[in-house]
Amino acid sequence: MSAQTAEHGTMTLKLIVWRQTGQGKQGRFETYTAKNITPHHSFLEMLDVVNEDLILEGKEPIAFDHDCREGICGMCSQVVNGVPHGGQERTTVCQLHMRKFKNGDTIYIEPWRARAFPILKDLVTDRGALDTIIQEGGYTSARTGGVPDANAIPISKADADYSMDAAECIGCGACVAACPNGAAMLFTGAKVAQLAALPQGQVEAPARVANMIRAMQECGFGNCSNHYECQAACPKGIDVKFIARLNREFLKALFKSKAGSHVFAGE
Amino acid sequence: MILDGKCPTGPIEQTWDKHRFDMKLVNPANKRKYKILVVGTGLAGASAAASLGELGYNVETFCYQDSPRRAHSIAAQGGINAAKNYPNDGDSIYRLFYDTIKGGDFRAREADVWRLAQVSNNIIDQCVAQGVPFARDYAGYLDTRSFGGAQVSRTFYARGQTGQQLLLGAYSALSRQIKAGTVKLFPRTEMLDLVLVDGEAKGITVRDLVTGKVRCHTGDAVLLCTGGYVNVFYLSTNAMGCSVTAIWKAHKKGAFFANPCYTQIHPTCIPQAGDYQSKLTLMSESLRNDGRCWVPKKQGEKRPANEIPEEDRDYYLERKYPSFGNLAPRDIASRAAKEQCDDARGVGPGGRGVYLDFRDSIRRLGEDTIRERYGNLFEMYERITDENGYKVPMRIYPAPHYAMGGLWVDYNLMSNVPGLFVLGEANFSVHGANRLGASALMQGLADGYFVIPYTVSHYLAQSKPGKVKEDHPECKKSIGEVEGDMKRLLSINGKRTVTDLMRELGILIWENVGMARSKESLTDAIARIPGIREEFWKNVKVSGNGADFNQQLENAGRTADFIEFAELLARDALHRNESCGGHFRVEYQYEDGEARRDDTNYCYSAAWEFKGVGNEPELHKEPLKFENVHLAVRSYK
């Protein structure tokens, strides 16, 4: 806690917030004052306070996505002072607390900015493109019922742990927002790696990686050029090694003649 | 009316298998002619939509979030129970069945719980086949851990994110069906009404949360998988968008609401820090394995925790429950914490907290061991409170967490409204008056993967597909009503925000209908809720307009429903003159403070019929019969 906040108990902050009435509309920055903010407010609770004031003044509150407010649903999505989720290591913006700021600070708040995520309103974007990528292959084709006993296929602890490291992705899209190329390769790589590491996922691995990469490109995401901004911004600390795995799986799929000829037939 | 759950009869271990054979099937070629509407994409909704799409039905699925992967099932930490008996420690379907009935304080149907225990094993198989990375041992087999209310190790887990991994598994199965075209997804879409035609559920009216457009979707059956209602307390561990709205709208259209007073208050949550607070965060119950709960002996103690000597500390759980100590069950531990705080011995801001102290464990095991076991939880605690749990005791307080009550359903998960099915936390079926840890995930997936595909087919096989289209007069009427409500909300232009009013309701319900309820507190709540309702409809301020992305309008609608529902919650709690599970009436306790159940007069599920806003609802009873488990007193001394 800074000396200033300890002295006064509460903070006053200047917020410069991106406002946009709808998709494709002209947006602009507006300035607001957040008053009576304690160090214990979460960042979103600070915005709640500002919104309550705006509503009572008869003005439109700031629209922003949020739901679980405990860092797991992946819905919250704000660029704070130029950094997705605000820059606290492995922390979503809903878990960022105001004790990281000090009285009198100016805070810039913007939506995710990426070609594949159109802005719907203010800080709210459409991240449906991430769902599209998963729909193109982020699964095993196991039917409900008719699967073997869970212990029928042993999986080494190392593989299971590696798979879980990748599976921790919450699909928030911070990796895309942080990437200078607007790439979704950390997101896609995490899913490809999670399934490629398990026997259950290996059967469809070649088709999966090819289809997911194609979807990624069709959705307007860029490609990785090794900036590693995604890993730095990721609230779950997903490692860029999964992008390397994505590339490796892609190459493997190319060389697997049988699957490859089928998968890449259209290209 | 005496309700019939239509449970199959005969030896319990054969009930589900026999029932499955007795149910009617829909010819594969005919399945695509039937349309099923699935509301909610949590464990229950996503698994149901995926499984039904795969069978060939034409499915439409709806969620208020921007993606189906964000449903609040994702936040479950601990694990999922199954009767696999992999550890060879004496588990069986029968034991899981027994533990669940007993854990629910004997207020659930035997046949439903048996089926849950039976299919629990299929769930684990299914999830592994989907690529869910469960924890494994060095031999490569699945690992399990122990959880409250059981003497066996039957909880499968994926680090502290089991709910996330299971939901992503169901979401992936759903995504596969969306790609295949059998399921059509409508994200950012909220259900605001149920459409009945000739008394059968034939559609839903929804609002597109981006464009604000209200429209009707019709189908041959409606599945509500919309979760629980504990946000009625305003502060809870639920997500901000969790609401009673979908099931409340269905209730207003005739679906019975069962046992709303069974609410679970989880003992280990981070206490409220201020009035501005928007939600409470759960800390895994596992912390109580190594942490000791205490409060100062002296009322109004001002010294910091570490300066309070041993003789001035009251380890109240160890004192009151010597054999279970800090691992007393959820309902008991929650009430004990409240008692200490009511006695002015609570700690932290506002005196609403108790210490959870790891000092002795750290001395015994070393800080590294504690970090290894709970490191991520200590980190989360510090992020929120700015306190280091290794150096000063954590502060915890109980918080609303889960709703055992919900819409009444029969054995087929169908409500009393034909064609309306209710799955997961939204129904009332298997947890009785108290849910055991790691059983919520089990129920959601059991209902969606392994129950509904059979029972909904049985219903559809007896009805003609596509009877109702979107231009039906009932659809137009429903759209008109929903739009009317929205216009009304937007036109009030009062002086209080939605949040302000919801907070007022929440405080009243928490104080009067929370952990300890009495005839006086409940009567007082019932008398005061109509005042809040009137104040809401007279003085709420909702800015913006309806034909737009408008989060205030969304919240206003949910709050209006919570206010109406709160009255039912209080009435149910007042009518149930006994204490059982999550429902504790101070008048009904033994001298030692234990809950006193009344099996002579209250061994039934209470299903309420809506009779108009502000009017007394009508009670229907479904008697509970226990043929396989003997009714007994739960004691944890």
B557 falls within a domain: no
B394 falls within a domain: yes
DSSP B595: B
What is the ipTM, given to two decimal places? 0.96
B6 falls within a domain: no
B199 falls within a domain: no
CA distance A3 to chain B (A): 15
Burial degree of B184 (CB within 10 A; 0-12, 13-18, 19+) = middle
CA distance A154 to chain B (A): 5
Q: Which residues of B touch A65 (CB under 8 A)?
A: 66
Supply the CATH number for residue B388's domain.
3.90.700.10
Give the tokens for residue B286: 């596992």
Contact B278 A45 (CB under 8 A): yes
The verdict on B548 touching A (C-beta cutoff 8 Å) is yes
> Of B206, B204, B214, which is closest to residue B255 (Cα–Cα)?
B204
Answer yes or no: B330 catalytic.
yes
Contact A154 B69 (CB under 8 A): no
State the pLDDT at residue B2.
87
What chain A residue is nearest to B50 in terms of C-alpha separation? A144
Question: What counts of helices (H) and strands (E) characterise chain B?
Answer: 18, 20
Q: What is the domain count for chain B?
A: 1
**pLDDT tens-digit map of A112-167:** 999 999 999 999 999 999 999 999 999 999 999 999 999 999 999 999 999 999 99
B381 falls within a domain: yes
Q: Which residues of B touch A151 (CB under 8 A)?
A: 84, 86, 141-142
Contact A139 B66 (CB under 8 A): no
Q: Specify the pairing of strand B200-208 against strand B189-197.
A: antiparallel
Least CB–CB distance from B75: residue in A68, A142, A147: A68
Residue A4 binned pLDDT confidence (cut-offs 50, 70, 90): very low
Cα–Cα distance between A224 and A237 in angstroms, integer? 17
Residue ranges of B 412-451 with Cβ closer than 8 A to chain A: 449-450
The string of DSSP codes covering B136-158 is: B-TTSSBPEE--TT-SS--EE-S
Residue B356 exposure: Cα atoms within 13 Å on the Cβ side? 31
Q: What percent of chain A has pLDDT over 90?
A: 91
- Lowest-confidence region among A136-150, B139-153, B214-228: B139-153
**pLDDT tens-digit map of B387-410:** 999 999 999 999 999 999 999 999
B209 falls within a domain: no
Phi then psi dihedrals of residue B430, to 5 deg = -110, -15
Cα–Cα distance between B238 and B624 in angstroms, integer? 30
A248: which strand partners?
none
The verdict on B376 touching A (C-beta cutoff 8 Å) is no
Q: Which domain holds residue B282?
A: 265-401
B446 falls within a domain: no
Give the tokens for residue B228: 């629980």
Least CB–CB distance from B551: residue in A63, A151, A195: A63
B221: which strand partners?
B36
pTM over 0.95: yes
The string of DSSP codes covering B316-367 is: HHHHH-TTTGGG--HHHHHHHHHHHHHTT---SGGG--EEEE-HHHHHHH-H
The verdict on B462 touching A (C-beta cutoff 8 Å) is no
Residue A263 in this model has a pLDDT that exceeds 60: no
Judge contact between A219 and A129, C-beta under 8 A.
yes
Contact A194 B133 (CB under 8 A): yes
Q: Specify the pairing of strand B618-623 against strand B263-269.
A: unpaired
Cα–Cα distance between A138 and B181 in angstroms, integer? 16
- Domains defined along chain A, listed by start: 3-121 (3.10.20.30), 127-140+154-263 (1.10.1060.10)
| Catalytic choice (B115, B330, B335, B585) | B330
B153 falls within a domain: no
Contact B384 A95 (CB under 8 A): yes
Cα–Cα distance between B409 and B443 in angstroms, integer? 14
Contact A164 B165 (CB under 8 A): yes
**pLDDT tens-digit map of B229-273:** 999 999 999 999 999 999 999 999 999 999 999 999 999 999 998
Q: Which residues of B touch A1 (CB under 8 A)?
A: 386
> Of B493, B630, B504, B520, which is closest to residue B585 (Cα–Cα)?
B520
Q: Which residues of A touch B165 (CB under 8 A)?
A: 164, 167
What chain A residue is nearest to B176 in terms of C-alpha separation? A135
Contact B453 A68 (CB under 8 A): no
Least CB–CB distance from A40: residue in B70, B142, B274: B274
Comparing B591 with A48, the larger pLDDT belongs to: A48
Residue appearing with tokens 């086949």? B129
